[in-house]
Amino acid sequence: MVNRRDFLASSALLTGGLAATRAFAADEPTLPGKTPHTKFAVNVEMWWTKLPFIERIQQTAKLGFPGFEFWSLTGPGKDLAQIANVSQDLGLGIAQFTAWGFKPGMNEKKNHDAFRKAIDVAIEAGKTLHCLKATVVAGDDVPGVSQAEMHDIVIEALQSVKKTVEDAKLMLILEPMNIRVDHKGHCLYGSAPAIKICDAVDSPMVKINWDLYHMHITEGDLCGHLREGFAAGRIGYLQLADHPGRNEPGTGEIHYNRVLREAYELGYRDFVGLECRPTDEIVAAKRVFAADQW
């Protein structure tokens, strides 16, 4: 039995502990991008979208982040030589870019010549940008073609550039999507079929862009599937966003402190792409910092 005096004393200790926790949380970093464990790469297609492209890279450095990622090689403000020079001047790494998107699909043989040409372009871009990884996307569903058949065609496409990317040392990272929220009608989702494709290609330069947001929506058990992916040796890159909303960590249901710790303990030391829509860039950066505490 606990008497009233002991209960009040223990309550005071608990209150003091909570106050200390709040004080620590309030002690916000001046450079939230400088995180203790994880190297984050800001997706500058989704952050500071009202600013010119180069200024988004500059803002990334101002918050202390060590790197950034982006999508297509073409578009407003995307002078690759300038991007490379600015990133080097600021001491930023370029984590990855997109070499092949949704359309036309890699899952149709008629597009394979174009795919190979796009990979040649990506190799040269990687050299200019000093970037070692490029995302490729399988493609949307083809009417009348089964998922298994489409995956076999994706394997053929990747096998056709296997030696090319191995010689160039550019890693192609295949990204599975989710069909519940963002990419209904896409032909590849979840970790198991992506691992199967990479096993069939069997190259150190063809791995998975393991987007934790998509994986959470598709299959859950993020830590368990991460362990499987690392055991298979098929994880090439990690991205994240919270769910629901696809905003920064701390806005949804994913406990990223635990997930990022799992990745770290499994030996992952490369960039984690912040492919999320920030509610506010400064607030988002502080939440990213908080997600890297354990």
* Res 24: pLDDT: 38
User: Mean pLDDT for each 10-residue chunk of the chain (294 residues)?
Assistant: 50 44 55 98 98 98 98 97 98 98 97 98 98 98 97 98 98 98 96 98 98 98 98 98 98 98 98 98 98 97
* Res 100: pLDDT: 98
* Res 27: pLDDT: 60
* Res 159: pLDDT: 98
* Res 2: pLDDT: 53
* Res 6: pLDDT: 52
DSSP the chain: ---HHHHHHHHHHHHHHHHHHHHHHHS--SSTT--SS-EEEEETTTSSTTS-HHHHHHHHHHTT-SEEE-S-S-STT--HHHHHHHHHHHT-EE--EEEE-SSS-TTSGGGHHHHHHHHHHHHHHHHHHT--EEEE---B--TT--HHHHHHHHHHHHHHTHHHHHHHT-EEEE--B-TTTT-TTBS-BSHHHHHHHHHHH--TTEEEEEEHHHHHHHT--HHHHHHHHHHHT-EEEEEE--TTTS-STTSSS--HHHHHHHHHHTT--SEEEE-S--SSHHHHHHHHHHHT--
Domains of the chain: 32-291 (3.20.20.150)
* Res 156: pLDDT: 98
Q: How far apart are CA 273 and CA 40, in angstroms?
A: 6
* Res 35: pLDDT: 98
